[in-house]
Structure 1
């Protein structure tokens, strides 16, 4: 229950993100997120078909790791640009890159050409994610941030339910190319919906004094390129033989750490209190979640002989519980403190990963892992929206782009490096056979979740202020 107040001290009712002055901005933002989520899930479903059609098995992994890596460059460039000139030109450019990438991929005649399209698309996607965060900061009052960030997660629910199915139908009835090309028109329509909010934000940016504009940080772009290269190297290290596997992985992680330091708030790599520890937790929990989710379907289909539909049920349940928990965070934002939300979310994620590890190690029923992964979704839905809101509350207006991009960089690179680490463990334990590989991989993921749980104690206890005034323009 929200904190009670006396009649004379009653808080004004919190406006809805779908109120008249916000509705088109909200719909446009959520539509873009929905389409990005749908495209990601659909491409994952049809990539085996694409690889076979274009004879590109050797480049299969790069089709996924490449966009993730260049997305970091897009995040950094977008954050710098948004702090300097506002989010409007960044949103428009990001959508343009997103669309161009879809067109290149959808018309590709070879796997290298498709990879080029995926890289362009990944660059635009990284920039778009950061620029939308800054739009939220400019348009919505702080008291509405939990609700809008909860809606962000909710926008993934329907794609998680129907994305793979629709992609399969499209491939059966037409061609895999329409998985890319069919999204183009919808993305442009979403941008039109967002136009009223962009016009309002652009007007407010023109009225901002030049003295509050952040300087260009071109060196950060170079560091982001280094971080992207390190992520790619870490992703490919598992292909190296013998001792080179460990040496290559270690070198890639060291390079990633060096390149990340200028891209994140000082103290992030050591979990310093304040803003840095929020970034640290985000990297750890994202790594723990994704490195388990990638291998869970393989365990269920390979060792338990479940069909892909039944194995996918675990991911669908996680998507639903993630969205539900995110909605609850928006609806009852003051029930838990920031610290409490991150502790609870990390604990739920740890419980779910342990359930997967026990399932693999002890041959327990597959239902334990499937049900457990629904708990993981609830954990992520509990802490991710609160992290996003806390980052914005701790950021000055001219640092919102930098810190928003830093949060997403921590998310993306944390997940990518965790995947690289678990892939190395998977390869190293493979000679033992059976489910030992999954047990070892899930154990490493559990250690990352424990790290997030321990660091949650360094997060402040404050909750979003329901009466915090808006500091930026609202939609016209």
Structure 2
């Protein structure tokens, strides 16, 4: 190879956090999607997928059951509180859990995260009044935030680079499938038994997953703690101060996004005043300027997530209000996006040789095309059924882009940085989504539903087309021997 162009093949550089060996030396040469279930890594992979599935089912199921929950122990005015409690605590735990995993290894935050998440499920599932439900939701957020970022550090430590695309393909599928099964399952459980079992039924899954990962967690946490110098200790103190600011800011923006109108403008202004200085401490330097390397990769996560989830948030509303579809019919459109996401994740997982920054660039294009196809549906120019293939295209883009971001973040990260950079990417994911949903709510309040959503979708397309320029900047540098 004689070119000076960057490359990001997963095998070009090992993770600095990788252990000296794997449980099965033969796996070092495996690249297939099913290789992650062979040898000593099989139970670890299954445990990771169970944990992620439990968190995802909780997210999808709670949204479906919450109207019944709040009708029982809450009020319409307090409907958003359980969601805000979860979001604020998860942002806090993501930041601190990432730092903990970098400094001491993934075992501690992963065990604490799963335990806290399960305790939160039990607290919420046995709640007879709103305060206990809010405590349970906060515990769930703390657990989910810590365990999610710790899983990425665990992958960096125990999986050889060739297998990581397959791992992220499976983890993406573990997030997507609950979006298909979670809502109907939660509705069935709520109607047949009680909303309490939507929470209580998930807790054993998380505990079983932790048991399955116990062996590899002992090995992953058996090394010497990462030695923090004075500079790192000062950085940790800044993170501890910035994390609550980010949690409050993101939660406030999410709350305001559910209440579009000028009345929430003071909340939005205060949220930004708290969030911006905190955010600058929580992301890699140069992220907002799309600096080459991990900064651009983290920024790409926020752009992709914000574009996709902001579109999804208003799509059922648009089909219901403007085209007369039932809520069930409108919600079914989102299934097309989930299937596209899962298919693309599966496809990329078996092709580790493709440079991930190229997949990321394609992802931006597919997502932009998918959103653009929704515009004529919003304007009433075409049959609303076009929303189904539009969502499939957008979902396929996410299935390529999100695993690519995860792998690039991990491979860009130096010693003791995987947790911090992964946490940064997840924070921008939530921030981008909350911010763009809020923008959509403001546009529809000012311009009306049809014009406001048209403006939102066109704006998202422009954002993604311009944002696609960050994809080449996320590429890994070519190995010195190849230059």
| Fold-level similarity (TM above 0.5) | yes
- Are residues 1:38 and 2:57 paired? yes
Matches within 5 A, 1:321-470: 321-335=340-354, 337-430=355-448, 435-460=450-475
What residue is the counterpart of 2:18 in the other structure? none
* Residues 197/245 of structure 1: CA separation in 2 closer, same or farther (3 Å cut): same
- Alpha-carbon distance in structure 1 between the residues aligned to 2:31 and 2:343: 20
Q: How much does 1:65 deviate? A: 3.1
Task: Describe the shift of the 1:341–1:462 C-alpha distance in structure 2 as closer, same or farther (beyond 3 A).
Answer: farther
1:312 is aligned to 331
Provide the residue aligned with 1:119 in structure 2: 138
Cα 1:95–1:275 shift into 2, 3 Å: same
Q: CA RMSD in A?
A: 2.4
The answer for the alignment partner of 2:196 in structure 1 is 177
Where in structure 2 are there 5+ consecutive unaligned residues? 1-8, 10-27
Structure 1 residue 155 corresponds to structure 2 residue 194: no
Compared CA separation, residues 12 and 149, structure 1 to 2 (3 A):
closer
Q: 1:211-360 maps to which residues of 2 (within 5 A)?
A: 215=233, 217-237=236-256, 245-246=264-265, 248-335=267-354, 337-360=355-378
Aligned partner of 2:88 among 46, 69, 78:
69
Give CA deviations for 1:338-373 in whole Å, capped at 9, x if unaligned: 332111101111111111222112342121112201
* C-alpha distance in structure 1 between counterparts of 2:287 and 2:275, whole Å: 13
1:424-459 CA-to-partner distances (Å, cap 9, x unmatched) read: 2222223xxx52232233234334323432322423
Q: Counterpart of 1:467?
A: none
With 149-158 and 17-26 compared, the bigger mean Cα shift is at 149-158
Contact 2:61 2:182 in 1 (8 A): yes
Please, what TM-score do these two structures have when normalized by structure 1? 0.88
Task: Provide closer, same or farther for how the CA distance between residues 444 and 48 of structure 1 changes in structure 2, counting only shifts above 3 A.
Answer: farther
Residue number in structure 1 paired with 2:13: none
Pairing 1:130-209 to 2, within 5 Å after superposition: 130-203=149-222, 205-206=223-224
Matched, 1:101 2:120: yes
- The CA distance in 2 between the partners of 1:463 and 1:161, in whole Å, is 40
Q: Give the deviation of 1:230 after TM superposition.
A: 1.4
Query: 1:461, CA displacement in angstroms?
Result: 6.6
Indicate conservation of the 8 Å contact 2:440/2:452, yes or no.
Answer: no
CA distance in 1, matches of 2:477, 2:87: 33
Q: Deviations over 1:107-166 (max 9, x none)?
A: 222234322211221111111110111110111011211110111011134312221111
Structure 1 distance, partners of 2:464, 2:158, is 34
Alignment correspondent of 1:471? none
Deviation at 1:310, TM superposition (A): 2.2
Q: 1:65 to 1:443 in 2, by over 3 A?
A: farther
Deviations 1:296-341 (A, max 9, x none): 1111222222233322222112111111111211111223x23321
Residues of 2 paired with 1:212 and 1:454: CA distance?
A: 36
How far did 1:245 drift?
A: 4.4
Partners of 1:84 and 1:285 lie apart in 2 by 29
Gaps of 5+ in 1: 4-10, 465-476
Given that 2:36 and 2:166 are in contact with CA atoms closer than 8 Å, whether structure 1 keeps it comes out as yes
- C-alpha change, 1:211 and 1:413, in structure 2 (3 Å) is closer
Deviations, residues 406-426 of structure 1 (Å, cap 9, x unaligned):
111121222122222222222
Counterpart contact for 1:156–1:319, Cα < 8 Å? no
Normalised by the size of structure 2, how large is the TM-score? 0.87
Q: How far apart in 2 are the matches of 1:328 and 1:242? A: 43
String of CA shifts for 1:238-288, please: whole Å, max 9, x gaps.
578975544543443343222100000000011111110111111111111
SS in 1 for 2:475: coil
Q: Indicate conservation of the 8 Å contact 1:333/1:463, yes or no.
A: no
Q: Provide the rounded CA distance (Å) in 2 between the counterparts of 1:316 and 1:246.
A: 34
Task: Decide which moves more: 266-275 or 337-346.
Answer: 337-346
Counterpart Cα distance in 1 of 2:384 and 2:226: 59
Q: Deviations over 1:154-186 (max 9, x none)?
A: 113431222111111111111000000111112
Q: Does residue 14 of the first structure (1) align with residue 35 of the second (2)?
A: no
Does the 8 Å contact 2:257/2:437 carry over to 1? no
Give, in angstroms, the shift of residue 294 of structure 1.
0.9
Q: In 2, are the aligned partners of 1:238 and 1:249 still within 8 Å (CA)?
A: no
